[in-house]
Chains A and B, each alone.
Chain A
Amino acid sequence: MIDFSFTVLIPLIPIFVFLFVGLVGHKMKPMVSGIIGTLGLATSAILSYFTAYMYFFRVGKVNDVYQSFVGNGPIAKTVNITWLQLTDKLHIDMGVLLDPISVMMLIVITTISLMVHIYSLGYMKGEKGFARFYAFLSLFSFSMLGLVLATNIFQMYIFWELVGVSSFLLIGFYYEKPSAVAASKKAFIVTRFADLGFLIGILILSFNTGTFDFKSLTDIHGTAITSGAGASFLGLSVMTWSLIFVFMGGAGKSAMFPLHIWLPDAMEGPTPVSALIHAATMVVAGVYLVARLFPVYALSAPDGLTVVAYVGSFSSLFAAVIACTQLDIKRVLAYSTMSQIGYMMVGLGVSKYGGEAGLGYMASMFHLFTHAMFKALLFLGAGAIIHAVHSNVMNEMGGLRKYLPITHVTFLIACLTIAGIPFLSAFFSKDEILSAAYHHNRLIFVVQLFVAGLTAFYMFRLYFRVFWNKEPHYHHTPHEAPITMTIPLIFLAIASIFAGYIKFSHFVSSDSIPFESEIEWMNVAIPSIIVGLIGIGVAFVMYKKESNLPDKMASGLKLLYVGAFNKFYFDEIYLFVTKKIIFNYISRPVAWFDRHIVDGFMNAIAAVTNYVSLKIKGFQSGQVQQYAFVFVSGAILLSVVFIYLFSK
């Protein structure tokens, strides 16, 4: 038996760092708290790598099936404590669940988080609140690690909210900037609204199945799956409804349409935060959630998966179109993130349970893994660019390849990767999603293929406009970032190139049984390479040198361009709905009711009490003899009453 109890330290170290740096950080030199944070996370990362090695190569596989370890088992032991005993059977635990996807997520989170910690040592240097920044980063790492290790859906929900809070704190890091404050509030409220759906989903799901534990929920012979889908409501079974509600929570965190509006605004936070939270880790929590419950989705609520697939596909198209028009480089990357998460959702949505048919599931997790690497690289590269030119807007950039050689090369690698150029990591993962879609839903396949082309186009639009094109007048010569920032870039660039060579299907699959996956050159890979190259080619022609072509294009597709440039007016629609409709017709009457009826009742009680006491306070005259008179009169009265009562 292997003792995996130490895995509990992986999330616990960051929370201790958070408490330590948060409480005494302001008394130390800023750099010290940064280094403490980085070292804490490095420890977690080493433990995660060790766990992954032990799990995948030593003990994880029994009879060729990856096991999931919770609590005391015959093979391995992890920490699992009953936290709330609700009834004999229903209880909420706190513990550590080890299975292929949670271990993979450990690697992703600790790696990216460590890179971001190192990078921030350079990027955030000299900022006010440096220690606070590291405290929040540690809090985030703790919550995210807790989320992926959760043994039951309720524990996951708790960490889910913690992740939301730390995201809120980090987006609003520059709390003196009104736009950052507004963005953090927006992110929090939108995701919180989505989490309401998640909570409803959890309650329905656990009511139906009588358990919170992932292990018993996803057990294909367990009651959750075999007991059938329950009564039906509006044409869908209760099980499907609950999973759609759960997906709503996931869609909120993962910025899926129509709950995506917070993600672009979240770019108000410091760039390393965008890389960590809003690109690589937190936003894939929704994907992870669906993957975690995948057997339930696939076997007892396939309609839920269809919803996931279409929402993902539409979001990815929608975001890619918007990304083509944005000028703020971080916003382009934000929409690109949304689009790529759409891919992952598609992967899950078109997948079936078990074996080769579960290709989509594997591909989705694979893409999650590679996306984390190259998207973090893109964001950190964008951070280096912003660091150099002190602006987010593309118009103020150009010709930077001369000034930022390392950033340039790593950024190019990331762009090539995301564009799906062969033999870089995303080529493998994206093509597997595409081939899963090809076999299960042709419509989605075509859409995703088109999105692949758009992706290549907007990424190279960004690349050419920033690194080539016409050089604007810089106030001072842009300079390459310090070594703490370039090391993570180089490391992530290497990861982006080689992450694709991991035989992912040997490790992660929908039924935990390894299988072989092959690239389908004819049907999928070659078309996707062609659209990718077309996208790059168009971007090359339009943006390599300054030309009036983009303006011509924009005026040719005026309606589409203006719509996309304004993000299809979704912010305005939401503002209209909330400010004009909800405020006027719901909030105002409720506020009136609260102020006049509820408060009025309380005020009336207070007023009556006050009035009565004013009237009777004269009794308290200070005249002892008056008191004595009242007392004696009362005594006599009582005596008379008792004599009358008892003398019968």
Chain B
Amino acid sequence: MNTGIPLEYFLITATLMFFVGVYGFMTRKNMITILMSVELMLNAVNINFLSFNRYLFPGQLEGHFFALFIIAVAAAEAAVAIAIIINIYRHFQSIDVEKADEMKY
């Protein structure tokens, strides 16, 4: 198992992606951008799954299946999220996440 790129590179990339997603999730006001940040986080996790699978258990496929599974769920989630966002837009005439703050004390 001596193929060029070491595991750490993948992990560092994934971590960076993940925290970019977290940063985006917490700072953006536009819900679509927030949704994109969520996708970034999910994909960072996907990278982790695939690289661990490749480097630790090369003969097996669980990591790949998990990644596929996450992609499918993410697609579904995106569809639902966008539907919600459309409804929020109809209600508030805006997709600014700070405007949708009625669920408070």
Q: How far is the CA of A621 from the CA of B25 in the complex (A)?
A: 17
B8 lies within 8 A of chain A by Cβ:
no
Asked if A446 is an interface residue, CB under 8 A from chain B, the answer is no
Check B22–A622 contact: CB distance below 8 A. Answer: no
The SS class assigned to the A binding surface is helix
Stretch from A90-98, A436-444, A574-582, A625-633 that touches the partner: A625-633
> Which residues on the B side are within 8 Å of A629 (C-beta)?
26
**Contact code string B1-41 (vs A, CB < 8 Å = 1, else 0):** 00000000000000000000010011100000010000000
| Residues of B contacting A: mostly | loop
Name the contact of A621 in the complex, choosing from B27, B97, B104 (C-beta under 8 A).
B104
State which of B97, B102, B103, B104 has its C-beta within 8 Å of the C-beta of A625.
B97
Within 8 A of A (CB), among B46-105: 97-98, 100-105
Q: How far is the CB of A62 from chain B (nearest CB, A)?
A: 83
Interchain CB contact under 8 A, B26 and A632? yes
Within residues 613 to 648 of chain A, which ones have a CB less than 8 A from any CB in chain B? 617-618, 620-625, 628-629, 632
Which of A620, A625, A628, A632 is B105 in contact with, Cβ under 8 Å?
A620
Q: Contacts of A622 on B, CB cut-off 8 Å?
A: 100-104
B22 CB contacts on chain A under 8 angstroms: 632
**What is the CA–CA distance of A620 and B100 in the complex, to the nearest angstrom?**
13
Closest chain A residue, CB of each to CB of B101? A622
Binary flags per residue of A173-186, CB closer than 8 Å to B gives 1, else 0 = 00000000000000
Q: How far, in whole Å, are A387 and B98 apart by their CA atoms in the complex?
A: 85
| Residues A617 and B105 in contact in the complex (CB < 8 Å), given A623-B98, A624-B97, A625-B97 | yes
A621 touches B101 (CB 8 A): yes
> A623: which of B25, B27, B101 is its contact (CB, 8 Å)?
B101
Q: How far is the CA of A628 from the CA of B102 in the complex (A)?
A: 17
Closest residue on chain B to residue A624 by CB atoms: B97
Shortest distance between the CB of B19 and any CB in chain A (Å): 10
Are the CB atoms of B97 and A620 closer together than 8 Å?
no
CB proximity of B96 to chain A, nearest CB, Å:
11
Residues on the A chain within 8 Å of B26, using CB: 625, 628-629, 632
Contacts of B100 in A (CB 8 A): 622, 624
Give Cα A620–Cα B102 distance, bound, in whole angstroms.
Answer: 10
CA distance A623 to B104 in the complex (A): 8
> A620: which B residues are within 8 A, CB to CB?
104-105
Docked pose: A620 CA to B103 CA in angstroms: 8
CB-CB < 8 A to B97: which residues of A? 623-625
Give every chain B residue within 8 A of A623 (Cβ-Cβ).
97-98, 101, 104
In the complex, residue of chain B having the shortest beta-carbon distance to the beta carbon of A625:
B26
Min CB distance B62 to A, Å, is: 24
The smallest C-beta distance from B56 to any residue of chain A, in angstroms, reads 20
Expressed in whole angstroms, the Cα–Cα distance for A632 and B24 within the complex equals 13
In this complex, which of B27, B98, B100 has the most chain A Cβ atoms within 10 angstroms of its Cβ? B98
Measured CB to CB, the closest approach of chain A to B45, in angstroms, equals 14
Chain B nearest CB from A505 CB (Å) reads 86
Segment 12-50 of A: residues with Cβ below 8 Å from B? none
A636 and chain B: residue at smallest CB distance: B22
Shortest Cβ distance from residue A285 to the other chain B in the assembled complex, whole angstroms: 64
Residues on A with C-beta less than 8 A from B98 are 623, 625
Chain A window 480-500, contacts with chain B (Cβ cutoff 8 Å), 1 for yes, 0 for no: 000000000000000000000
B27 contacts which chain A residues (CB < 8 A)? 625
Q: How far is the CB of A639 from chain B (nearest CB, A)?
A: 12
Bound together, the chains give a CA A625 to CA B34 distance in angstroms of: 10
Measured CB to CB, the closest approach of chain B to A624, in angstroms, equals 6
Nearest residue in A to B98 (C-beta to C-beta)?
Answer: A623
Chain B residues with CB under 8 A of A625: 25-27, 34, 97-98
In the assembled complex, which residues on chain B have CB atoms less than 8 Å from the CB atom of A628? 25-26
A632 proximity list for chain B (CB < 8 A): 22, 26
How far, in angstroms, from A621 to B98 measured CA to CA in the complex? Answer: 10
Task: Name the distance in Å between B79's Cβ and chain A's nearest Cβ.
Answer: 19
> If A623-B98, A624-B97, A625-B97 touch, does A618 touch B105 (CB 8 Å cutoff)?
yes
The residue on B at minimum CB distance from A620 is B105
Contact with B along A247-283 (1 / 0, CB 8 A): 0000000000000000000000000000000000000
Closest chain B CB from A390 CB (angstroms): 70
A621 to B27, CA, bound (A): 16
What per-residue 1/0 map shows which CB atoms of A590-629 lie under 8 Å from chain B? 0000000000000000000000000001101111110011
Contact mask A77-118 → B, CB, 8 Å, 1/0?
Answer: 000000000000000000000000000000000000000000
Distance A386 CA – B98 CA, assembled complex (angstroms)? 85
A565 to B63 Cα, complex, angstroms: 104
Give the chain A neighbours of B104 by CB distance below 8 A.
Answer: 620-623
Bound: A632/B26 CA distance, A:
10
Residue of A at shortest CB range from B29? A625
Q: How far is the CA of A623 from the CA of B29 in the complex (A)?
A: 11
* Residues in B neighbouring A618, C-beta threshold 8 A: 105
* CB-based nearest A residue for B104: A622
Minimum CB–CB distance from B86 to chain A (whole Å) comes to 17
CB distance from B77 to the nearest CB of A (A): 16
A620–B22 Cα distance when bound, in Å, is 21
Smallest CB-CB separation from B28: which chain A residue? A625
Query: Could you tell me the distance between the alpha carbons of A618 and B104 in the complex, rounded to whole angstroms?
Result: 9
Complex formed: what's the CA distance from A135 to B98 in Å? 69
Report Cα–Cα, A618/B22, bound state, in Å.
24
Alpha-carbon gap, A621 to B100, bound state (A): 11
**Of A617, A618, A621, most B-chain CB atoms within 10 Å:** A621
How many angstroms between the C-alpha atoms of A625 and B98 in the bound complex? 8
State the CA gap A112–B22 with chains docked (Å).
91
In order of increasing CB-CB distance, the 3 nearest A-B pairs are: A622-B104, A622-B101, A617-B105
Q: A617-B105, A628-B25 are in contact. List 14 more A-B contacts (CB 8 A).
A: A618-B105, A621-B104, A622-B103, A623-B97, A623-B104, A624-B100, A625-B25, A625-B26, A625-B27, A625-B97, A625-B98, A628-B26, A632-B22, A632-B26
CB pairs A–B below 8 angstroms (24 shown): A617-B105, A618-B105, A620-B104, A621-B101, A621-B104, A621-B105, A622-B100, A622-B102, A622-B103, A623-B97, A623-B101, A623-B104, A624-B97, A624-B100, A625-B25, A625-B27, A625-B34, A625-B97, A625-B98, A628-B25, A628-B26, A629-B26, A632-B22, A632-B26
